[in-house]
Amino acid sequence: MQTKFLISLLVILLSILTIKNTWDFYFSASNNSLNNILRKSVIEQSEKNIELLEKNKNLENEIRSMQNNIGFAESYSRENLDMVFPNEILVEINQKADQDE
C-alpha cells in the first residue's frame, strides 16, 4: 500500500515537472525572444536564397545565350577587350569631350 502511494506520488511529481519544463521551454520569455530571432533569420535566409536562385537562373540563361550565339565571342572581344581584326583600325570616341563642346 505504501509503495503504491509513493510510486503514484512520484509519477504525479514527475508529470508536473515535465509539464512545467515543457511550458518553460516553449513559452518562456527568453525562449520566445530566441524563437523570434531564429524565425527572422530563417525569413532573411529564405529571401537571400530566392535572390540567389534568380541570379543563378539569369547566369544560366546568359551562359546558354553565349554558347548558342556565334557572334557573341566577336562582340565581346570588340566591346570589352578592344580587339579588332588584322586590317581594321580601332577608333575610340571620347564622349565626355563631345558633351563639353
Any idea what the Cα angle at residue 75 is, between residues 74 and 80, rounded to 5°? 110
Total domains, the chain: 1
pLDDT single digits (tens) 33-87: 777 888 999 999 999 999 999 999 999 998 888 888 878 878 887 778 877 888 8
User: What pLDDT does 25 receive?
Assistant: 77
- Whether 8 shows a pLDDT value over 60: the answer reads yes
Cα separation values, 13 from 3, 24, 29, 69, 77, Å: 15, 16, 24, 76, 79
| Domain limits for position 47 | 2-84
Q: Is residue 93 part of a domain?
A: no
Q: Is residue 17 part of a domain?
A: yes
Q: Is residue 89 part of a domain?
A: no
Q: Is residue 52 part of a domain?
A: yes
User: What pLDDT does 44 receive?
Assistant: 97
Q: What is the pTM of this model?
A: 0.48
Q: Is residue 38 part of a domain?
A: yes
Q: Is residue 80 part of a domain?
A: yes
Q: Is residue 99 part of a domain?
A: no
User: What pLDDT does 99 receive?
Assistant: 60
